[in-house]
Amino acid sequence: MLRSLIAILLICSWMQAADAPPAPSPVPKIPLITAHPDSSGWPHLLADDLSNADFPPGIWSMKDGILTATKDINLWTKAEYGDCVIDLEFRLDSGTNSGLFLYNSDPTNWMPTTVEIQILDDLGKEWRNIPANWRCGGFFGHLAPRASLAKEPGAWNRMTTACRGSQITTLINGALASDVDLDAWTDGKRNPDGSEIPQWLQGQPWATLPHHGRIGLQGRHADAGIAFRSLRIQVAGAGKP
């Protein structure tokens, strides 16, 4: 009787496993975009006076269309965005460590509640021995970029990021930098490949993040500046003020 019961349980377990959908791949088969768009007619992500953004006074400023920061303090849009395409240009200083933040639901505890696309001076001596998933164009601490695509400090780079639900695709300077399916991240401490997520990012698994939230930018880190310009957005659904 016991053997029969065990056999039945094993069969049921096997049938459940066979019926379970396969786990999503961290890298989708088809990227959302393959070329930079003509965004010249798109709305600006930020107003010239930054009135539609949240940040402490005196940190971020826009001059002659170029956005810069004096400290390592984030800027957040007041509106929340879901499916959208963000097109921008960035300029690195030597040693720059910045980022584009997506789907943020809590600016006060932003690290574990945000998807970050890394913006980094890959050539900087400070960053020679960092993990691959800390490189420019990758999803910081989670997925390495396909290649190092940023230009040397002082040159302008173009970055386009498309968001559709759990899939996010990023291009830098005309090439695919990274493409990700957030649903593959079901563990808040480890990546799908088994590597550990940096401790300060651990918490809510990406698979459980809402597919909308504030968009953010990281400021001046470790005395290395970052500049942005031509920040535009095409929204599939209206932003939520």
Query: What are the 10-residue block averages of pLDDT along the chain, 241 residues in total?
Result: 46 44 78 97 97 96 97 97 98 97 95 96 93 97 96 98 98 98 97 96 96 97 93 75 35
pLDDT at position 3, please? 53
User: Across the strands, what pairs with 213?
Assistant: 81
User: For residue 43, what are the contacts with CB-CB under 8 A and spacing of at least 6?
Assistant: 232, 233, 234, 235
pLDDT at position 22, please? 60
Closest of 140, 204, 215, 222 to residue 177, by C-alpha: 140
pLDDT at position 223, please? 85
The number of residues in the chain equals: 241
Domain extents in the chain: 24-235
What's the pTM?
0.88
The Cα 224–Cα 219 span in angstroms is 9
pLDDT at position 13, please? 46
pLDDT at position 24, please? 73
> Going along the chain, which residue ranges are E strands?
53-54, 60-63, 66-69, 75-81, 84-92, 97-104, 115-120, 156-164, 167-172, 175-181, 213-217, 226-235
Q: Which CATH architecture has domain 24-235?
A: Sandwich (2.60)
CA atoms within 13 A on the CB side of 192: 16
pLDDT at position 58, please? 94
